[in-house]
Amino acid sequence: MRVQVVIVGAGPAGLLLGALLHQAGVEALIVEQRSADYVLGRIRAGVLEQGTVDLLDQLGLGARLHAEGLVHAGIELSFGGRRHRIDLHKLSGGKNVTVYGQTEITRDLMLARSRSGQRTVYDADQVSVHDFETNKPSVRWVEGGQAQRAECDFIAGCDGYHGVSRASVAPGAIQTFERVYPFGWLGVLSETPPVSHELIYTNHERGFALCSMRSMTRSRNYVQCALDDSLAQWSDDAFWDELRRRLDPQAAESLVTGPSIEKSIAPLRSFVAEPMRFGRLFLAGDAAHIVPPTGAKGLNLAASDVRLLSAALIEHYQDKSDAGIDAYSQRCLRRVWRAERFSWWLTSLLHKFPDTGAFGQKMQAAELDYLVHSVAASTALAENYVGLPL
């Protein structure tokens, strides 16, 4: 078969790119190694920048988001037993963020793609990308025991950190930058009301904690844990007890506990691959970069990547210009590195590091004190949190 674009990966990045191309009349096939149920079952964060919300609105997919999503005008920083509110809306010139789970975004995009009649191949075995340094790239896979091949003009690698797209690039053509953090996040999803109507980021001598939500009846809470911890060590009661210890007295009193729906331990890393274009293969989203979740940038970075990539591909087909394609990597990486910096900084500010000791904790306390009492510092936090312009 032949299509204009093959998208490898049916997560939010791949589905969003497919929707943007379809809106402009560009044909795109999506090939996904996992099942649709597996893709939908992945639990991820869902703090959306205004730009990401606007992109979904542009596609006509914002109805459920606006009906069920929670608009947040601020966040709370907790340290020294007290909470301090950062007014995102005021400090950023009127911008907010919206809490809407990544699973729900994926569901909305899947449904829209199915209704439009576009094809997505799930459960594709042995996916591989070929000849992307030529003008005749292709993607191969096995479907139902039969070998399949799609010739195309371009390949979009939206298949995540462990996908085949980045792994197919010659080692000498790509450079990677990485930091692995010496701790993880233990996260618990529960049918319990959130502790506060806004997210609480906590710096505590026992370690970081985050109180967030998916709705007004479903909470997603986290505590910093050791990388070698196992879920068997963390009963629900043990998790709630540890979270309560790290919260300020008012939040601890307000905490409602309940059985976990989902529980997982996630490692934290900062990762960037450069460049993000290799001939007619483009990397987007987690295939090109990973951020620690502290800054809530992962999904939003993926959305900005595919916004730029879709515009470049549409320009190629409609205007016969490759200016956007040639500038894609440079434009993406400028935003990526700024988001990496913010996520690294916030992670460094809020977590307990095993090698910094009491001095490091005092430095964190001093910086947090300055942050919440300085309009300039609070403004910088707010501007980064709601999302810097493209």
Q: pLDDT tens digit string along 182-221?
A: 999 999 999 999 999 999 999 999 999 999 998 899 999 9
Retrieve residue 363's tokens: 């430095």
Looking at residue 389, what is its pLDDT? 83
DSSP string, 320-382: ---HHHHHHHHHHHHHHHHHHHHHHHHHHHHSPPTTTHHHHHHHHHHHHHHHHH-HHHHHHHH
Given the residues 22, 72, 95, 316, the one annotated as active site:
72
Average pLDDT over residues 296-315: 97
Mean predicted lDDT score pLDDT of the chain:
96
- Using DSSP, state whether 93 is helix, strand or coil: coil
Q: Is 293 a catalytic residue?
A: yes
Tokens of 306: 């595919």
Structure confidence by residue, pLDDT tens digits, 290-305: 999 999 999 999 999 9
What integer is the mean pLDDT of 234-260? 97
Give the pLDDT score at 46.
84
Report how far residue 191's alpha carbon sits from residue 259's, in angstroms, rounded to the nearest whole number.
8
CB 51 within 8 A of CB 390: yes
Q: Whole-angstrom Cα distance, residue 139 to residue 28?
A: 12
Residue 21 identity (one-letter amino acid) = L
The CA–CA distances, whole Å, from 22 to 1, 33, 59, 63 equal 18, 22, 10, 19
Task: Give the whole-number percent of the chain exceeding pLDDT 90.
Answer: 95
Q: How far is CA 154 from CA 6, 48, 123, 135, 209, in A?
A: 7, 28, 22, 9, 43
Known catalytic membership, residue 182: no
The predicted-structure confidence for 94-128, as pLDDT tens digits, reads as follows 999 999 988 999 999 999 999 999 999 999 999 99
Whole-angstrom distance, CA of residue 320 vs CA of residue 313: 10
Band of the pLDDT at 386, cuts 50, 70, 90? very high
Taking only the tens place, the pLDDT of each residue in 325-347 is 999 999 999 999 999 999 999 99
Q: Interior CA angle at 224 toward 83 and 296, to 5°?
A: 70
Residue type present at position 365: A
For residue 199, give the amino acid letter.
Answer: L
- What is the distance of C-alpha 332 from the center of its chain? 15
What's domain 182-267+353-386's superfamily in CATH? D-Amino Acid Oxidase, subunit A, domain 2 (3.30.9.10)
Buried-state track 176-187, b at ≥16 Cβ within 10 A, e below 16: eeeeebebbbbb
pLDDT of res. 101: 87
The closest alpha carbon to 285, from 268, 309, 269, 263, belongs to: 309
d(CA 26, CA 3): 9
In the set 22, 95, 204, 297, the catalytic residue is: 297
Backbone angles phi, psi at 91, to 5 degrees: -75, -20
Query: In the predicted model, is pLDDT for residue 177 greater than 90?
Result: yes
Contact 18, 156 (CB under 8 A): no
| Alpha-carbon gap, residue 273 to 195, rounded angstroms | 37
Active-site residue (options: 201, 289, 292, 328):
201
72 is catalytic: yes
For residue 210, list its beta bridge partners: 201, 222
pLDDT at 357: 87
Dist CA 339 CA 143 (whole Å): 38
Q: Taking Cα atoms as reference points, which of 155, 106, 127, 158 lies closest to residue 287?
A: 158
Q: What are phi and psi of 141, to 5 degrees?
A: -160, 170
Q: Which of 222, 293, 328, 351 is catalytic?
A: 293
Two structure tokens written together for 146: 């039969």
To 5 degrees, how large is the angle CA 79–CA 85–CA 91?
130
**Tens-digit pLDDT profile for residues 34-84:** 999 999 887 677 899 999 999 999 999 999 999 999 999 999 999 999 999
Enumerate the domain spans of the chain: 5-72+95-177+269-346, 182-267+353-386
Whether residue 390 is predicted with pLDDT greater than 90 in this model: the reply is no
Q: What is residue 374's predicted lDDT score, i.e. its pLDDT?
A: 98
Mark whether 385 is an active-site residue.
Answer: yes
CATH C-level class of 5-72+95-177+269-346 = alpha beta
pLDDT for the residue 159: 97
